[in-house]
Structure 1
Amino acid sequence: MSSTTSVDLLIIGGGMVGASLACALKDKPLTIAIVEAVPLHSAEQPSYDDRAIALAYGSQRIFQGIGLWPQMKFHATPIKKIHISDRGHFGITRLDHQKEGVEALGQVMAGRDIGNVLAEQLANQANVELLTPATLSQIRYIDNGIQAEVMQNEQVLTISAKLMVAADGGHSSVRQLLGIDSDSKSYQQSAIIANITPSRPHNHVAYERFTDSGPLALLPMSDNRCSLVWTQWQQDVDEVMSLSDEAFLAQLQSRFGYRLGRLKQVGKRTAYPLHLMRSKEQIRPRLAVIGNAAHAIHPIAGQGFNLGIRDVSALAECVSDALVNEQDIGSLATLQRYAEWRH
């Protein structure tokens, strides 16, 4: 790319949401540039500690529409049933894919695998130019467009676009540079993430259990692993994280029970502080804010990434409609249709 260039669509953030948007527009008469701080493709080998992503049935349908599900399905573990319980209380809620009339209630994939499928598509997509590693430094409005200055290899690139999409996560540089505030509230909790191996087969069942120390979920993965998301009050996180593997598994076992038999192994543990966040502006003329740059919620419902994929689907549809009707893809009228759809 030359030091000064113009594109139709400039996506800031080439993570899973930003990359998915570019892929969703692969057959459209658009020139697209993606600015991403880190390389998309992972050369890492599969690991016991792969971070899992739960794809809702609706997200699977969206990826089918984009044309990526055949590649993704190879890496996915289907959720056939969901088991919901409340520790210390009677009653269980069960959901079954057969009763719902679907092949699976959801799918669980390693984030690395999703990223690699998206990166492979983008590498072969003629209408996309990927700038990585590169960082956004300035944004300004120009006549009939928006312009960004991007640093790549110690060179300043000036990129003009009809539409900029902020898909650059919770600490969005786009929001910061444009002075877009957000409403944010801490849950006073952290989610402890790890992979677990039980003694019994998970049989494609996802478990969600509410406990005195916080809700927890165990999602089925490949090789009979389960992805654990265990919410803890903030004051208890350091103590739980410092436990030995044996003590951690024992405490988890006491909260979860023996539905999966004995919990035998735990991998690397990571704790993430939880907060509720919503951008006060999700559209401006020439700008759409999507994914974690627009909203963050508690992970126990498993909707974080899925909300971002719904943003992708709605925005891609609005951009496509604008192209068909020979309208400006970055106009406020186009983006208001997107905002109304998502709210």
Structure 2
Amino acid sequence: MTKPDTDLIIAGGGLAGATLALAVARMVPSLRVTVVEAFPLSPDALPESYQPSYDARSTALAWGSRLIFEELGLWHRLAEHATPIHHIHVSDRGHFGATRLHASEHGQEALGYVADNRWMGLCLMRELLETNVQWQAPAEVTDMTPMPEGVRVQLTSDDNGTRELTARCLVVADGGRSGLREKLGFQPSHHSYGQNALIANISTSDNHGFTAFERFTDAGPMALLPHGSPSCAGHQSALVWTLNDEALAEVLELPDTDKCRRLQERFGWRLGRFTRIGSCHHYPLTLTTVDEPVRPGVALVGNAAHALHPVAGQGFNLALRGLMTLVEQFRLATEQGKSIGDLDVLRRYQARHRQDWQQTVRFSDSLVRVFGQSMPPITAARDAGLVGLDLLPGAKRWFARKAMGLGGRRAVISRPGRLNRGGTRHE
């Protein structure tokens, strides 16, 4: 193939796609990157100041994800509106079992953080404006044809119709709902949990004390994450509430006061009285994995490769670790004079990320399955397990590392002044 139009095309400019673009620009600056995003970009997307909305959707960032964003030079921006999680409280409704994690016990500033998706997007865009990353927006990748040493990608937009770009590699980062993954021939495996996640922000009479609550109930797990000010423990939390179809339909029809009352019944009084609930969003809960997420010239990342139950807040954090693993393989390939779309390059990414995503999927899925059982022997065993986590330092340390996103294998990009995986410094 003659010199392609660009080296890397990223289909999707959301959090995963934009983070990948920034990581490549920072770590492998010789590569030309083009991001294709369905939503238009405008100057309004980058306001001079950020005013958080009560109804903003948010994402839980593990401590390991903070380390990644520090590596990308982005954390100093994100931290301005990232609420720290100092404590995690895990409990089983109606049973004695509980465990508590504290950042101070592990020598950390925080176990994780909660940040608005819009704020994260703004921070990424501001950083990307300082790079040579090119954008095609609004546009969508609608098809791809393999070619020797690369791919030919078809773009469709309302303004310019259909046109083509050639590249060394296409990375699909547009989530699992666009249909591009299936159109390119990837075969995802789906397991429905028969439940839905209701997402909303809530206010309580007691402040959250920078505590994240993971509450398992007979109707499914629920989580409340501290939200709002990064420096003052406030009264707002981000809610993830698991409901079956019938219960979801019933809750959505209730006035806000009755929603709060129903939530109070399920969660309890650890945060006092529920006083307000914001706009409710919901989506069906499905475990989705793609066993072979790479082909010559193409790789899937983020939710396009694996979508998890939100019970442990691991989805985006797993995606971040995968992105950094992929960028490390791009860096090595470039140093060795290989094409970044070479199947051997992409398979090395797959092999290095596989153990992490398999362990994370098993961890999240097992929590849902174990705490979804109501038989007395199982409830007794899991309650004993929660108490054991509180009493056994080794088990608690393992659980804390999982919660902090430090249990997976992740390459640290070698560049001047940074540490490689072996711990030696490159000057």
Scaled by the length of structure 1, the TM-score of the pair is 0.95
Query: Does the 8 A contact of 1:186 with 1:274 survive in 2?
Result: yes
Question: Is 1:139 the counterpart of 2:139 in the alignment?
Answer: no
Give the CA deviation at 1:109. Answer: 0.3
Question: Is 1:277 the counterpart of 2:278 in the alignment?
Answer: no
Paired position in structure 2 for 1:342: 353
Paired position in structure 2 for 1:116: 122
Give the CA deviation at 1:58. Answer: 1.0
One-letter amino acid of the counterpart of residue 137, structure 2: T
* Residues in 2 aligned to 1:236 and 1:199: alpha-carbon distance in whole angstroms: 25
Paired position in structure 1 for 2:37: 36
* Residues in 2 aligned to 1:16 and 1:75: alpha-carbon distance in whole angstroms: 16
Query: Does the 8 A contact of 1:193 with 1:229 survive in 2?
Result: yes
Moved more, 322-331 or 193-202: 322-331
Give the CA deviation at 1:11. Answer: 0.5
Paired position in structure 1 for 2:331: 320
Q: 3-state SS of the aligned residue for 2:155?
A: strand
One-letter amino acid of the counterpart of residue 212, structure 1: D
* Residues in 2 aligned to 1:251 and 1:309: alpha-carbon distance in whole angstroms: 35
1:95-174 pair list within 5 angstroms? 95-126=101-132, 128-152=133-157, 153-174=159-180
Paired position in structure 1 for 2:12: 13
Query: Does the 8 A contact of 2:146 with 2:296 survive in 1?
Result: no
Query: Does the 8 A contact of 1:282 with 1:289 survive in 2?
Result: yes
Over the aligned positions, Cα root-mean-square deviation in angstroms equals: 1.6
Paired position in structure 2 for 1:230: 241
1:228-267 pair list within 5 angstroms? 228-267=239-278
* Residues paired across the two proteins, number: 339
Query: Does the 8 A contact of 1:220 with 1:226 survive in 2?
Result: yes
Give the CA deviation at 1:154. Answer: 2.6
Deviations 1:35-78 (A, max 9, x none): 01013636695311001100011111111111111110111000
Scaled by the length of structure 2, the TM-score of the pair is 0.77
Deviations 1:299-330 (A, max 9, x none): 11101111211111110111111112222211
* Residues in 2 aligned to 1:164 and 1:205: alpha-carbon distance in whole angstroms: 40
Paired position in structure 1 for 2:380: none
Q: 3-state SS of the aligned residue for 2:7?
A: strand
Query: Does the 8 A contact of 2:143 with 2:184 survive in 1?
Result: no
Query: Which structure is higher in helix share?
Result: 2
Query: Does the 8 A contact of 2:9 with 2:35 survive in 1?
Result: yes
Query: Does the 8 A contact of 1:24 with 1:66 survive in 2?
Result: yes
One-letter amino acid of the counterpart of residue 191, structure 2: K
* Structure 2: gaps spanning 5 or more residues: 355-427
Query: Does the 8 A contact of 1:172 with 1:293 survive in 2?
Result: no
* Residues in 1 aligned to 2:122 and 2:56: alpha-carbon distance in whole angstroms: 13
Give the CA deviation at 1:5. Answer: 6.2
Give the CA deviation at 1:166. Answer: 0.5
Query: Structure 1 residues 221 and 281, CA, compared in 2 at 3 Å: closer, same or farther?
Result: same
Paired position in structure 1 for 2:408: none
**For 2:57, which of 45, 51, 66 is the aligned residue?**
51
Question: Is 1:85 the counterpart of 2:86 in the alignment?
Answer: no
Give the CA deviation at 1:212. Answer: 1.8
Query: Which structure is higher in strand share?
Result: 1
One-letter amino acid of the counterpart of residue 51, structure 1: R
